[in-house]
Structure 1
Amino acid sequence: MEFGWNEIAFNMGKELERRILPLFGTKKAGETVGRNVSGDVTKYVDKVAENLILNHLNPLGVNVVSEEVGEIDNGSDYTVIVDPLDGSYNFSEGIPVFAFSFAVHKGKRPVYGAIYEFITKNFYEALPGEGAYLNGKRIWVNTPEPEKEALSFYTRGRCTGIIKKVKRIRVLGAIAVELAYVARGSLDGVFDIRNYVRPTDIAAGVLLVREAGGIVTDERGRELEVPASATMNMNIIAVANERLLKLILEELENEP
């Protein structure tokens, strides 16, 4: 059975928007209602968002990997790797940087990715070999000049020397959004070397960056593979070009 992933992702994003935006910036949104499969706190808005997504996906009979519930194996060829609300801390605190992240694998091969920003209503899509798109228009990574790059990066004291070698550092608190911004050229790179991000956070964004002409690796510069897992912790480097990747890897290699 084939699916219209574009329509499925867009409709889910719009329904999520209608359901959760009334909770934006409220104490209710940030209430702890449990813990997810990785042991992290589940906020009320996370649970509301995931329940809605599962109600959409369960009738399709596909496998599902989601941040809160974990992995649902329905014996399908297709696996949807989804974060219904990436940036839920931002959401509950009234910071307008968060998104719905939706990726599809057939077997182990990515076949579709989408990210929907609720506030801006920007809808990003990527299809292997067909490019990355923002609201239907093709997008590409930036071509930054040396020492004029804008990066977002997450660290626990590693690679801080990079701050002196680029122009701007951003930390937006929603890596799905940051990967989308790399794909459209608003950021030149984002990397997280805390062994913290999970496939549900990055599956769609990785495809977006690659299809927009960017590079995505692990902390050693090896091509990053995104498994269908809700619990695996990963490092990620996503950049616009080889020069920026080399700069980051050299900083990591030469740090004290």
Structure 2
Amino acid sequence: MKEEKLPSVVGSKSFTAVAINCAAKAGEWVKTKLGTTLQLNQKVSASDLVTEIDKGSERLIRNLISTHFPQHSFLGEEGVEPGADASTQAIASAKDAEYLWIVDPIDGTTNFVHGFPFFCVSIALAYKGEVIVGVIYDPSSDELFVAEKGKGAYVHGKRLEISKEMKLQESLIATGFPPDQSYALPLNLRAIARLAPQVRNIRSGGSAALHMAYVAAGRLTGFFEYNLNSWDLAAGSLIIQEAGGKVTDIEGHSYHLEVRDVVASNGHIHQELLQELGRV
């Protein structure tokens, strides 16, 4: 059976070029809003915030994408009601679209609110449920991480490569502190307690998408977190895989758009990391 060639353009319009343009424009606009007076709203807890900047960034991205590809579907974080059930339902309803743009207009909103420079814009494009373009833009460091299915992953034209650590004890692992305080946060804390004595160290920067970009860049050996959403993970999943790494769910099954409990790594330590998380 002949393998289906994944499309990279519609007409003369490159998907990747549009994704890069959207991420860069939204990121630069978000950066200009740092330190401005914000209207804060909570989602599921005090650590899960949304601002008018998140909403403005998503509108900007949606408008740009619809200008180029008006027939494409769009799934953005700010268009979905808070909570795991709503997020699960949203991706289940959208995942079978021929072309689906999956957008987090600011991943790391709490950092943005506090002026902590670790947040990003994350944009992915899925074709029939498979991520074919992933772009993560960090406006604070002006780093643009880009991957296209089958064509590698890059930051500012330099090819990304995963780290070379072979053992968990040599690894720098990242995770987060989920806003869901009834399920995901306690689970994540137990996982941290189990892993901390067995790894070189653990970091928590506050942006799942940037953590994944850092795995792809070899700055982190691995990353795990519970109860994330497709807009947190889709772009980073492709960037890691195109850099030579591995992304699965917590049970080791291959990444797909409905994965919420994620494990990402350089591949070398993946099985060892999964085994330890399986004992939590």
TM range (shorter): 0.7 to 0.9
* 1:217 equivalenced with 2:243 (yes/no): no
Task: Please report how far the alpha carbon of residue 76 of structure 1 lies from its aligned counterpart in structure 2 after TM superposition.
Answer: 6.5
Distance 1:239 1:214 in 2: 6
Choose which of 106, 113, 116 in structure 2 pairs with 1:95: 116
The answer as to whether partners of 2:175 and 2:224 remain within 8 angstroms in 1 is yes
Secondary structure of the residue aligned to 1:254 is coil
Secondary structure of the residue aligned to 1:130 is coil
Distance 1:190 1:241 in 2: 11
- 5+ residue gaps, structure 1, are 228-232
Distance 2:205 2:163 in 1: 19
- How many residue pairs match? The answer is 241
Q: What is the TM-score with the length of structure 1 in the denominator?
A: 0.86
Name whichever structure is richer in strand by fraction. Answer: 1
Where do residues 1-256 of structure 1 align in structure 2 (5 Å cutoff)?
1-2=10-11, 3-28=13-38, 31-32=39-40, 41-59=49-67, 60-61=69-70, 62-70=72-80, 77-146=98-167, 147-154=169-176, 155-158=188-191, 160-193=193-226, 196-227=227-258, 234-242=260-268, 244-255=269-280
- Report the residue type matching 1:124 in the other structure: F
Distance 1:52 1:143 in 2: 39
Q: What is the TM-score with the length of structure 2 in the denominator?
A: 0.79
Secondary structure of the residue aligned to 2:219 is coil
Partner in structure 1 of residue 181 of structure 2: none
Query: Which shifted more, 56-65 or 113-122?
Result: 56-65
- 5+ residue gaps, structure 2, are 1-9, 81-89, 177-187
The answer as to whether partners of 2:27 and 2:121 remain within 8 angstroms in 1 is no
Identify if the C-alpha distance between structure 1 residues 157 and 92 changes in structure 2 by more than 3 Å, giving closer, same or farther.
Answer: same
Distance 2:254 2:201 in 1: 26
Task: Please report how far the alpha carbon of residue 149 of structure 1 lies from its aligned counterpart in structure 2 after TM superposition.
Answer: 1.0
Secondary structure of the residue aligned to 1:197 is coil
Query: Which shifted more, 158-167 or 184-193?
Result: 158-167
Distance 1:200 1:253 in 2: 25
The answer as to whether partners of 1:99 and 1:118 remain within 8 angstroms in 2 is yes
Identity across the alignment (%): 28
**RMSD over equivalenced CA pairs, Å:** 2.2
The answer as to whether partners of 1:143 and 1:241 remain within 8 angstroms in 2 is no
